[in-house]
Chains A and B, each alone.
Chain A
């Protein structure tokens, strides 16, 4: 089966991964699912590949031989905001995933995920459903608690501004962290099941810090900085 976007063309994916076996594995799974995959082993190669046109989806590892995947994500967000971005992570640990989310990524893919899961995740992403794991949700909600309780000392880990999240969004994150399905969360919170993915997309967007100037503006808005 071939995966196609709205226009009917094949969906293009740029896969940036320096470990060759992992790269093959992911590429195989995605190609088999019908995606058009270009792969790059370094940051430089990835930038070159981008000259040939923006992909629909960017999958990137964070630790690359000539730089950090975060830079690529940031560039990508500025270059073409419509591209969906995902991090490839070995462990799905918060440190790497959260820092990627703050520059514009909307999820992560485990390096050892089963081929069907890889394809499903990418398909959902293109369909506008940003996946979020329980541990990432947990990290975010713990951080919202942390900032509320004692703001004197910043908690360890990547900087994350959760002030923009609404109570509803935090409730959704709690549900995900506790392992509830979207349907269960929707029924607990009195929502329609279909709206939950949209909320999650919003959460990702709110956690994103676009530019330094914007970050300062946000801080002023939220009263973190007094002028």
Chain B
């Protein structure tokens, strides 16, 4: 079971790999063919009518006839440079314009003399002597030097490795005939590399900034380092031996293997792999060339470069091809595809150059690796830009997705909040309705019933009037208590004072109102309408008792805030100068019920109710709680 389960996913996976890899490899084969064809087509054509190929060569003391192009036998011949001597015919009659000598390819440096006078020394142009470039040279031959008939031309070839010296066919003829060919070669092998190097330096700056801003991603730092090395190698002119600073040349040799190792490291990181620890070995050849270049003098570093550096470049190219192919199989994105194709081109060119170096393919020793490397740089730049743009798109997408999500969540939250609010409002409304019902039932209902009963029994108008007034008063109390007073009980007491004064005026009872401080009572944010109604009803009951039973002349209300060390609390005291409760003969049971009512109302509000009644009057003290209870626990 488990075996099948383990094998099952591998087979489609393998099929997937094959289905992706085969077309890719076929395409790479096509690219190889196209590159080879391209190299053949791009081969600049030289003015063959003016070719000089028959020369006599004096090398190592021996003189022999050679045919150009020719490879020297030595890799290092600064002491006794090989001397090529040839002859050309000049006819003054058909020399409409000046004549030139044109060297399409030589390594490392060449000095050309016509009739014994030097007309061209390539050592003066530092970049012309680099073996990896195919710099052409052209020089006008002063007309005074030319003799009608046969003229002698000598080419002295300076060779300082790492390759054998090489001299391509030399052309001597009218400048007008040679110049176009020279210009073509200059464009291909001088101008174009400069353009690419400029591009590389821009890339280096962009990547360095990228890396500085995103230190977490060493991939950009690695590539920036590679680009900087490439730019240095391209723009720092190597000194021409036997100049003293030949060490610099040796150090510059280390740049190519190091740069290629860095490129591999970049590719590995760029495509999302980890850089293996043994990957450091890839930097070893570059380091060795560098160290040897610092210590030893020429020609050892150049030989070492040939032995270590160039193979390293090759290995790196093969690694790159592997990495990009693997990345393509895994991710199948535009970046890996572009870079992979570019690597194939460079690899093809490298093989082409190697075949040329080992003289397996006899061409004119035109090295194209460096030029084709530019193709890879363009591909890398394109790949980076592509990935950058994609990342931006992803960020945009992510941001818009986030906005949508947040909006959705907000909507849901709003909906649930609205639901909750609705529910709370419904509950509050139901509570309020219950309270209102109870309050109306307690006061207004009973009073209206008593009005009905009184009028049915044919009572005197005054009694009915009292009952109706009481009912109206209660209705006002209920309405008043509904108002939001913001926890300030004084606002409710203010209205009550008016109602009580109005009630007492016909009875000629004075209402003495005394508030200890302007604030009056402490604020109670938890104060609810039902608290207010209970307290006001207690006060109403006290005043009604004073009017009805005690026959008082004066009622004193005192409002004060006390603080027993545990926070402030309010006290409302009402005192009358009546004859007191106990002496009230009739209606004792009614008074008792009233008293019970007052106690229960006070208890529901968490207030302490005290009543002292004597012959000199009644004194009620209502001590309010510090915090009003939020549920009507004692109700019912």
Chain A residues near B (Cβ < 8 Å): 90-94, 112-114, 116-117, 133-135, 137-139, 142, 145, 175-181, 184, 188
Q: Does B419 contact A (CB under 8 A)?
A: no
B502 lies within 8 A of A114 (CB):
yes
Chain A residues whose C-beta falls within 8 Å of the C-beta of B498 in the assembled complex:
133-135, 179
Q: Which of B468, B495, B506 lies in contact with A134, CB distance below 8 A?
A: B495
Pairwise interchain contact B483-A135, C-beta atoms closer than 8 A: yes
Can you list, as one digit per residue, whether each of B454-475 has a CB less than 8 Å from chain A (1) or not (0)? Answer: 0000000000000011001001
Closest to B506 in A: A114
- Within 8 Å CB of B496, what residues of A? 179
Q: B518's contact among A90, A145, A181, A188, by CB below 8 Å, is which?
A: A188
Query: Does B502 lie within 8 Å of A113, measured CB to CB?
Result: yes
Name which residue of chain B comes closest to A175, CB basis.
Answer: B518
In the complex with contacts A112-B472, A139-B483, A117-B502 CB distance below 8 A: yes
A145 to B487, CA, bound (A): 14
- A to B contact number (C-beta, < 8 Å): 70
Within 8 Å by CB of A179, from B475, B486, B490, lies B490
- Distance of A36 Cα from B483 Cα, bound (Å): 38
Chain A residues with CB under 8 A of B488: 178
- Give 11 new A-B contacts, CB below 8 A, not counting A138-B491, A184-B515: A94-B483, A114-B502, A114-B505, A114-B506, A116-B506, A134-B497, A176-B494, A178-B494, A178-B515, A179-B497, A179-B515
Contact across chains for B518 and A138 when beta carbons are under 8 A apart:
no
| Contact of A178 with B479 in the complex, beta carbons under 8 Å | no
Q: How far is the CA of A178 from the CA of B513 in the complex (A)?
A: 11
In this assembly, does B484 line the interface, its C-beta being within 8 Å of a C-beta of chain A? yes
Most buried by A among B479, B494, B515: B494
Please name all residues of chain A whose beta carbon is closer than 8 Å to the beta carbon of B468 when the two chains form the complex: 112
Distance of A205 Cα from B347 Cα, bound (Å): 97
By the criterion CB–CB under 8 Å, are A91 and B476 in contact? Answer: yes
In the complex, how many angstroms separate the beta carbon of B574 from the nearest chain A beta carbon?
A: 14
Which single residue of chain B is at the shortest CB-CB distance from A115? B506
Q: Is B59 an interface residue (CB 8 A)?
A: no
- Contact of B382 with A by CB under 8 A: no
**Contact among A92, A112, A178 for B490, CB-based, below 8 A:** A178
Interface contact B502-A138, CB-CB below 8 Å? no
Q: B residues touching A (Cβ–Cβ < 8 Å)? A: 468-469, 472, 475-476, 479-480, 483-486, 488, 490-491, 493-498, 502, 505-506, 513, 515, 518, 520
Asked if A138 and B495 make an inter-chain contact with CB atoms under 8 angstroms apart, the answer reads yes
> Across the interface, do B515 and A180 meet the contact criterion of CB distance under 8 Å?
yes
Least Cβ distance of A92 to chain B in Å? 7
Closest to B476 in A: A91
8 residue pairs of the A-B complex, CB under 8 angstroms, read: A91-B475, A92-B476, A117-B505, A134-B498, A135-B498, A138-B491, A177-B490, A178-B493
Contact partners of B476 in chain A: CB under 8 A:
91-92
In the complex, the chain A residue whose C-beta lies closest to that of B469 is A112
Give the docked Cα–Cα distance between A65 and B515 (Å): 45
Q: With both chains docked as a complex, state the minimum distance between the C-beta of A144 and any C-beta of chain B, in angstroms.
A: 12
Given A114-B506, A179-B498, is A138 in contact with B483 using a C-beta cutoff of 8 Å? Answer: yes
* A128 shortest CB reach to chain B, Å: 21
Of the residues A133, A135, A139, A145, contact of B486 by C-beta under 8 Å: A145
CA distance A7 to B98 in the complex (A): 135
A177: chain B residues at CB < 8 Å are 490-491, 494
Instruction: Select which of A112, A134, A188 is within 8 A of B491 by beta carbon.
Output: A134
The residue on A at minimum CB distance from B473 is A112
A137 to B497 CA separation, bound complex (whole angstroms) = 14
Give complex CA distance A138, B497 in Å: 14
With most chain B CB atoms within 10 A of its CB, the pick from A90, A134, A180 is A134
A113 and B495 alpha carbons, distance in the complex (Å): 15
With A and B bound together, what is the CA distance between A145 and B523 in angstroms? Answer: 16
In the docked arrangement, what's the CA distance between A90 and B472, Å?
9
Q: Which residue of A lies closest to B499 (CB)?
A: A134
Q: Provided the pairs A93-B479, A112-B469, A181-B513 are in contact, do residues A138 and B494 lie with their beta carbons within 8 angstroms?
A: yes
CB-CB under 8 A from A178, the residues of chain B are: 488, 490-491, 493-494, 515, 520
Interface centre among B468, B486, B490 (most CB of A within 10 A): B490
Q: Contact between B469 and A135 (Cβ–Cβ < 8 Å)? A: no
